[in-house]
Each structure stands twice: as structure tokens, then as C-alpha cells.
Amino acid sequence: MAKRDKLFERILSLPTDFTFHELQTLLGGLGYEMSNKGKAAGSRVIFVSEEGKPIRLHRPHNGILKEYQLEQIISSLRENEDL
């Protein structure tokens, strides 16, 4: 099983320890690029792909994504037909 497939299974289970790095790996494998440009971007990041809508979120300070963030990401991936 490919790493991306394992990350898909993992994010769908809504784990309490899903890291921002794992998200970057998953979305990077789907063709998304991360950007945090802007005057006051701070911890706000956006993942963009050519085909789908952008995915916006705050980068967690401790590196662990919260459940509501995972749910929003899963919803966005389903809307973009990436999941």
C-alpha cells in the first residue's frame, strides 16, 4: 500500500494525532501546493491545486490538527473529488 493510501485511511479515521506534516505529504501527493503569502499571513496557510477549490486553514502551533480541521479538509477533498 502506498504512503498516500495509508494517509487517506488515517485522515478518514479522524485521529487525534494527525500532523500538519502528514497533511502536507497527503495534499502534495494530490498536486496541491502550500502557500502562506500575504501581509499578515502568520499561521494561515492555503493549499491550492489547478483543478479544485483551495483548502484554507491555520497551521497548528503544536503541529497536531484538530478534529474540526480534519473534517473540513475531508469535506473539501470530497468536493474537489480528490477523495
Residue 23's SS3 state is: helix
Count of helix runs (H) and strand runs (E) in the chain? 3, 3
Residue 70's SS3 state is: helix
Q: The pTM is what? A: 0.86
The rounded Cα 9 to chain-centroid distance in angstroms is 14
The amino acid at 82: D
Give the CATH number of domain 3-79.
3.30.920
| Residue ranges for the chain with pLDDT beneath 70 | 1, 38-41, 83
User: How many whole angstroms separate alpha carbon 4 and alpha carbon 54?
Assistant: 19
Domain layout of the chain by residue ranges: 3-79
Query: What's the pLDDT score for residue 39?
Result: 57
